[in-house]
Amino acid sequence: MKRGMKQHGTNHTSPLLSAIVPLLGSLFLVYLVIVTTSEDPGKTLIDFFAGPWSSPWFTGNTLDLAALLAVSALGIALSFKGGTFNLGGEGQMYIGGLGASMVLLAYPSVPGPVMLLIAALTSLSLGALMGGLSGLLKQLVKADELITSFLLSAALTPAADFLIAGPLRDKVGNLLASPRFAQDRILLRLLPPSNLSVSLLFAILLIFLAYVLLYRTPSGYRFRIAGAHPEFAHYGGFPAPPYWTYGMAISGALHGLAGFFAVAGTYGLCHQGFPGGLGWSGIAVALIGRNEPIGIILAALIFAWLKAGSDRTLLASSLQIETSAFVQALIMLLVTIRRRK
């Protein structure tokens, strides 16, 4: 089995190479779109490609977005490795961030670092509960996890909207948001005045741990085999169905943690609809990275760069199209490309 483990893990660096094709293709098509539609192509190209790195504020915000995308994409990738697909990441992120926010707003006398730890564990638990329930339903009654994870998230999202706009809403401000967290209950900022926090370091650590667990441990080998070859796993003495629950629970936990990073790191409060499509974008990042930890690092960084560049271009130039949505559509189209071996 050790020989099989080695052979099964020999191609896990290929996502770095295969991800380059769709990314370079999308960059080239974006270049063509800008050149053919912008009134000032030179300025627009500079704004698009260099704008996200033009100042500490822009650089920090781009890296912060990359960190959130990486954690979300890692959740998608691990569910896929376990033989499932989590379609409820957006809602898991929302509920996880909401639960963390309720903790961070409670018990002012408790030290901030303690409450941050409890908030992180709360978000992990809520996300794991949502994802694990879908995995358990698949394990016990063969319910499609795509449907159950999506419906569960869709059902809980209005409840989160109600809580944020009602009982948790800051009565002083005009936003549909909670009060701001105390300064000692916000994650340390790495590049002020940007939103970049230590969540970037945690994202890198989580990806490294996922890589080690998947490709350097017997448990990771069994997890991958159960997801990729259920029949082989059954005859090998570790039936696949329990791994469906594990994979979905881990995926939900990571999405919940991404919600914690968003409210405690990026925003410093919980506002209505704060995920803003991060859960869905995480799916694109995971697909670009071929559901591999190594590929996710590159994919998250470039996806965040393209998203930040398109948003900056819309504000700073005369480009007349919704470049952000167009770029994401190009990536999703080109991500289906596979290199011939």
- Residue 24 placed within a domain: no
- The pLDDT assigned to 335 comes to 60
- Residue 78 placed within a domain: yes
The domain in which residue 186 lies consists of 57-334
- Residue 176 placed within a domain: yes
Report phi then psi at 304, rounded to 5.
-65, -40
What pLDDT band is residue 155 in, cutting at 50, 70 and 90? very high
Reference 278, options 310, 245, 303; nearest CA is 303
> What is the rounded average pLDDT of the residues 209-236?
93
Question: Is residue 193 reached through a cis peptide bond, with omega within 30 degrees of 0 on the bond before it?
Answer: yes
List, for residues 50-98, the tens digit of each pLDDT value: 888 988 999 999 999 999 999 999 999 999 999 999 999 999 999 999 9
167, pLDDT greater than 90: yes
Please list the helix, strand and coil fractions of the chain in percent, rounded to the nearest 5, in that order. 75, 0, 25
- Residue 62 placed within a domain: yes
Report phi then psi at 271, rounded to 5.
-110, 160
- Residue 139 placed within a domain: yes
Q: Pick the residue with more confidence: 34 or 320?
A: 34
Q: Pick the residue with more confidence: 319 or 230?
A: 230
* Beta strands per DSSP E along the chain: none
List, for residues 260-296, the tens digit of each pLDDT value: 999 999 999 999 999 999 999 999 899 888 898 888 9
pTM of the predicted structure, to 2 decimals: 0.90
List, for residues 24-33, the tens digit of each pLDDT value: 777 787 788 7
For a pLDDT cut of 90, what percent of the chain falls above it?
Answer: 64
21, pLDDT greater than 70: no
Encoded tokens for 264: 């405690």
Burial of 236 (0-12, 13-18, 19+ CB in 10 A): middle
- The pLDDT assigned to 8 comes to 44
Reference 228, options 31, 26, 45, 12; nearest CA is 12
Alpha-helical regions (H) of 38-88:
41-50, 56-81
Query: How many domains, in total, are found in the chain?
Result: 1
> What is the rounded average pLDDT of the residues 244-268?
97
- Residue 260 placed within a domain: yes
Encoded tokens for 49: 């490609």
Q: Pick the residue with more confidence: 319 or 65?
A: 65
DSSP characters over 5-45: HHHHTTTTTHHHHHHHHHHHHHHHHHHHHHHHH-SSHHHHH
- Residue 218 placed within a domain: yes
- Residue 27 placed within a domain: no
CATH of the domain at 74: 1.10.3470
Supply the DSSP symbol for 187. Answer: P
